[in-house]
Chain A
Amino acid sequence: MKKILLFASALLLTVSAEAQIKRPQPQPGPMPTVNVQKPQEFTLKNGLKVMVVEDHKLPRVSYMLTIDTPPYAEGAKAGVSSLTSAVVGNGTAKTSKEKFNDEIDFLGASVNFWNTGASASGLSKYSSRLLELMAEGSLSPLFSQEEFDKSKQQAIEGLKADEKSVSSVAGRVTNALLFGTNHPNGEFVTEQTLNNVTLADVKQNYTSYFVPETAYLVVVGDVKFKDVKKQVEKLFKDWKKASAPVAKYAEPNDVAKTQVDFVDMPNAVQSEISLVNTVNLKLTDKDYFAGLIANQILGGGGEGRLFLNLREAHGWTYGAYSSLGSGKYTSKFTSSASVRNVVTDSAVVEFVNELQKIRTQPVTQAELDLAKAKYIGNFVMEIQKPGTIASFALRTKTQSLPADFYENYIKNIQAVTVADVQRVANKFFKKDNQRIVIVGKGSDVAGTLDRLGYPVNYYDRFANPVEKPVFKKAAPAGVTSATVIENHVKAIGGEKKLKEVKSLSVVSKGSMQGMELTMTQKQTNKGQSMMVINGMGMDLMKQVVTPTMGYASMQGQREDLKGDALKDAQASAKMFDELEDLKNAASFQLTGIENFNGEEAYVLKKDKETVYYSVASGLKIAASETMEAQGQTIEMTSTYSDYKEVKGIKVAHTSSLPLAPGMSVEFKVSEVKVNEGVTDADFK
């Protein structure tokens, strides 16, 4: 009775509610007109560019100083820039740390500093004092040894706090492998590199990179341009003109052939999957807008293909997305999701399918329209907000955009065609040159990765290559497939008892979609087997097998089993599979001990079948079978638990049976009869 294959779709009945009201979807009104505003600007002699957006709606102000620094690798001193960020702003050459912080808090304001910028925000009645504090903290920071030591200690503790975080490890390893650890995007901070950093390094970092040549100060809020100008000129005029050093480093190369890179974290309850390749896409490139749209269709949100496939169709993840980096430096294209361990390989297959599809088949006009609508809608809603005006103006400068970039934004989005999307998908979504980085629980996941058909490499949590670890335990000496099967037979009553059983009748109850199901199974030791599932007073599904014939019927439609299907069904029409298995135990392969639903189990494999026997009790706890359906390999797993004794034999009183892929129903036994209640008439 292993092979129960129902086609549950026939049973998926929607319970209809009260009379529904049909109401057509309203049509949108005319699109609001947009008007791209520009901030007021001025530039200081030292290079600092200032942009001011007056916004008098609320009595508040925000200042943001951004230094557009080219990326650089920190090498053996990785962490120097984050330590610089931690140290600056804690007091100044003129004001003690205590007084400085106290005044910021007193104003109810927020003022922050980092190695390439600063920000301040608060009530506009304190606007000039806030700018003074920000200028003082930025331009004459205090570098105290004590602050440095403390920051370093905290950074080290912070690394420790994150050590077991699956997602931080995934982020670190993914970038390290993709860009290489010598690249600014690929290097990472460790306790050792932090220990290499001195206070002198921090000062040097500040001196080199905190410079006005490529600095921008953006002011938004309830202030007047002329007041701001006067004050900025006074406060920042002595900031010495200088530009930051430009580092050289090798451009990373994508892998020649797609590969899987796996990191084992035994505490993981989900696998972090990222499929990545590098990307160079400037905002001024002609493919920029097509890239935005292609990524949006693939994985830009809750209506992207990845989300609809992995979350909505399969329920494997809370979310699956893609992101296409852009800008003047090398970035990456990522498709990613956190999925539960057992579906890791299936999820990778779906990711690859989606990448393949968007590269080889044109997207539909509807998908294209939807993606455009999202970008245009967002643009329309955002463009008039003061914060957006400022950030667009800043980006126009840092990304060297043409002055009319945002004026033409909607037009350029509209111009993207179906063919453009396919072309850029092939250009940027490098399905055949990706790293598929997976961080997860090796004992659950690693065994399934080989069948993906890509080379599999193993790394530690710091992206160092390692030998393939041993994820499952070997069975102890003396345990063989025969002893495992014997143990199960013993545990359910012993060979002698089982052979005395002439017939077995089991009635179980379960429910699907709120519909009560009753399953009746009857079997004899003469190769007769009958199973019927009844719901809402009808026989929904029935299967009868005898040594001479077999048939299955779905809701009254009968179909005779013939040929191999009949032979298969007859071969599995046994009351106790293991009695038969005992005779050819050698045909099963004992692959070792694995964890199955939190229980250690011996794993026996034969062809497409895998059976799990509890190490502790000897009882069979699950059986699964892989099958091909619609071109996909799926695994159908039944589980057995709550064994109770009936007339000397033990019968699982709870079982979960896969009635269709991804849909299991739990049945609880309500009646077991041994050697009674079964006649030949049951098998007609």
Chain B
Amino acid sequence: MRKSLTALASALLLSSVAVAQKVEFEEYTLDNGLHVVLHQDKSAPVVVTSVMYHVGAKDENPERTGFAHFFEHLLFEGTENIERGEWFKLVTSNGGHNNANTSDDRTYYYEVFPSNNLELAIWMESDRLLQPIINQIGVDTQNEVVKEEKRLRVDNSPYGNWITEVKKNLFKKHPYRWAPIGSMDHLDAATLDEFQAFNKKFYVPNNAVLVIAGDIEFAKTKDLIQKYFGVIKKGAAVPRVNIQEDPITKTIHATAEDANIQIPMYITAYRTPSMKTRDARVLDMISSYLSGGKSSPMQKKIVDEKKMALQLFAFNYAQEDYGMYLIAGLPMGDTTREALQKEIDAEITKLQTELISDRDYQKLQNDFENRYVSQNSDLEGLAENLASNYLLYGDINLINEEIEIYRSITREEIRDVAKKYLQSNSRLLLDYVPAKEDSAK
């Protein structure tokens, strides 16, 4: 039975695959505005409990950058019921693990536990939202930790700063112009009152989605959610960033230095529309076409055949308000920026003027189908996808329907979107180069 189904599916352009792995879920909203998504998977005794808050670096005061990421640290400092320093111990001593991360658009916290600790996870996440302890000891400790994180990931890390440099040059008004790690001076200058105000403004149930996925029973889980999250008061409506960038009409040239590198990185960057748009999906496909896999034009021609680059990659940096389309390469030997750029531009021009071949188109479809099957294969990834589809994309059903968007993108659209966004006069050319030797030592 299964075999004949598979055969039929491939004949019908694979449309049955989506059915084969449909993600089932339930969703509802508490009176306080907290949105809840539940997904059951009993294949292993594991439960993932996560909360995504709709606050990221872009929601920060320009004089207080780094706040959103700082909170990702601060909110592990303890709550009224969980003493300072106990958070990680509680998780571990109950056999779980946990983490959090911050982007320009949102902050995400999660715990993974054996399924007998579902209630503990709900208690912890709800206490973090209801009554976190935000005091000077916590702020001072995390201030130092965040500085070390920046030294580790940015200042001491080869090519650690390139995305930040791109953002700085590509955005002039929108808060995407700074990076989530933010400014250490801003964090030093911030008072405790400011941290508390930030918490009050953004960490409210009506600005979050709770996802619980794994080995759960719906009725019992809903009771627990009501018991622990239900008591939290609704907050004021959260203002959203609404800042428009002026179009880029002339190539922006910029240079940035990095003391930790020996080989420059040449970056070509375009500002692109929100990840919610269809065009952003088309740009995903364009990246995959240009540099995905060894047989893509950039890998095959520029890296492999002409040996002009050590590495070359293109990707669509999808974000809520604007995206960035980035092409970056490390030149091989004495290849100049101009020579490398000429090759890259030739590939882009080709994409803008000719249709990709049927075979390349089919290859793209295979690639996206494989990604689609893989991206929800692990429970932690699935929980995060459910959260961001709801909170950022505004359509939770994308968890099952996203593949349909990619399937419906045509070769003509790929050409037209390349023409529309990858224009040579509306881009940033950034030379990310080794810092000159420090003569003072």
Contacts and interface: CB of A to CB of B under 8 A. Distances in A.
A621 to B, nearest CB: 17
Nearest to B95: A377
A246 interface: no
A370 B93 contact: yes
Contacts of A630: none
A164 B191 contact: no
Interface string B343-372: 000000000000000010011011111110
Interface string B132-148: 01111100111111011
Interface stretch (B24-32, B101-109, B111-119): B111-119
B148 A339 contact: yes
A161 B435 CA distance: 13
B277 interface: no
B410 interface: no
Contact of B262 (A14, A22, A164, A380): A164
B215 interface: yes
A513 B192 contact: yes
A467 B46 CA distance: 56
B21 A318 contact: no
A405 to B, nearest CB: 20
Contacts of A241: none
A158 interface: yes
Contact of A26 (B97, B119, B367): B119
B88 interface: yes
Q: Which among A59, A163, A166, A381 has the greatest number of chain B C-beta atoms within 10 A?
A: A381
Contact of B88 (A101, A153, A269, A301): A301
B19 to A, nearest CB: 11
B95 A340 contact: no
Given A21-B80, A58-B373, A315 B143 contact: yes
B115 A32 contact: yes
B310 A514 contact: no
A513 B194 CA distance: 11
B44 A381 contact: yes
Interface stretch (A103-111, A186-194, A484-492): A103-111
A301 B92 contact: yes
B120 interface: yes
A316 B93 contact: no
Interface in B173-230: 191-193, 196, 215, 228
B192 A514 contact: yes
A58 B20 CA distance: 8
A349 interface: no
A97 to B, nearest CB: 8
A32 B156 CA distance: 44
Contacts of A447: none
A160 B307 contact: no
A69 to B, nearest CB: 26
A380 B97 CA distance: 13
Interface string A1-31: 0000000000010110100111111101111
A312 B83 CA distance: 13
B402 interface: no
B94 interface: yes
A157 B151 contact: no
Contact of A161 (B21, B88, B158): B158
Contacts of A30: 116
Given A153-B307, A370-B89, A384 B262 contact: no
B363 A108 contact: yes
A125 interface: yes
Contacts of B92: 301-303, 370-371, 373-374, 377
Contact of A315 (B114, B144, B152, B158): B144
Nearest to A511: B191
A377 B43 contact: no
Given A21-B131, A381-B44, A513-B192, A267 B438 contact: yes
B240 interface: no
B145 A318 contact: yes
Contacts of B115: 32
Nearest to A469: B441
A148 to B, nearest CB: 13
A105 B149 contact: no
Contacts of A378: 95, 97
B292 interface: yes
A26 B359 CA distance: 57
16 contacts: A14-B135, A21-B130, A22-B80, A32-B45, A59-B21, A60-B374, A157-B263, A161-B262, A164-B261, A166-B156, A301-B88, A317-B148, A318-B151, A339-B148, A443-B441, A511-B191
Interface of A: 12, 14-15, 17, 20-26, 28-32, 34, 57-60, 90, 98, 101-102, 104-109, 122-125, 150, 153-154, 157-158, 160-167, 266-270, 301-303, 307-308, 311-312, 314-318, 338-340, 369-371, 373-374, 376-378, 380-385, 443, 511-514, 595, 600, 662-663
Given A125-B10, A316-B144, 8 more contacts: A24-B81, A59-B17, A105-B294, A157-B263, A166-B156, A266-B438, A316-B148, A385-B44
